[in-house]
Structure 1
Amino acid sequence: MPTVEIYTKMLCPYCVRAKRLLDGKGVDYVEHDISMGGPKRAEMLGRVNGRTTVPQIFIGDTHVGGSDDLAALERAGKLDPMLAA
């Protein structure tokens, strides 16, 4: 299973929704809380081509996008194969 990373902020409902979907699938993920900025926020900005919203989700080296993008992959039946690769 590839490493799943999610950049989040405190009190972000979209972050909660994305984590809930991953938790429901039993996916272990690395969460980077960027609420206070810092080096992890700079890291995220360098990886997501200028996007500044959270969450930003990566499965392996693939940038999935945000919560809506993750949910769309799930609805299309594409999320499980990405997680199994």
Structure 2
Amino acid sequence: MKKVLMYSKQICPYCDMAERLLKARGIEHIEKITIDSDPAKRDEMIQRTGLRTVPQIFIGETHIGGYDKLAALDRNGELTALLAGNV
């Protein structure tokens, strides 16, 4: 399984849904960077993604985006392959 990194906030329903989906697909550890407690990490997220909303999810070096894009990958059957490193 590839490394999963997620920029999030302490209170974020979409972050929670993304985490549940990833765990349901076998991800045991998600590196979470909480941007509301560290402004430098918020700036880092914006610089890396060009976006200000959370969650911002990376699988390996691939930027997925937010929960909606993660869920769309799952519906299309692409998420499992991406997590396994087959994409």
For structure 1, which runs of at least 5 residues remain unmatched after alignment? none
Mapped to 1, the partners of 2:69 and 2:23 lie a distance apart of: 16
Write out the 4+ residue segments of structure 1 that deviate beyond 6 Å after TM superposition: none
Mapped to 2, the partners of 1:42 and 1:26 lie a distance apart of: 30
> When the two structures are superposed, what TM-score results if normalisation uses the length of structure 1?
0.92
> When the two structures are superposed, what TM-score results if normalisation uses the length of structure 2?
0.90
Partner of 1:67: 67
Q: Deviations over 1:23-72 (max 9, x none)?
A: 11220210111113422111111110x21000000001110000000000
For structure 2, which runs of at least 5 residues remain unmatched after alignment? none
Mapped to 2, the partners of 1:39 and 1:52 lie a distance apart of: 13
Partner of 1:41: 42
Partner of 1:29: 30
Mapped to 1, the partners of 2:2 and 2:10 lie a distance apart of: 25
Mapped to 2, the partners of 1:39 and 1:82 lie a distance apart of: 29
Identity value in percent: 50
Please provide the CA RMSD for this pair: 1.0
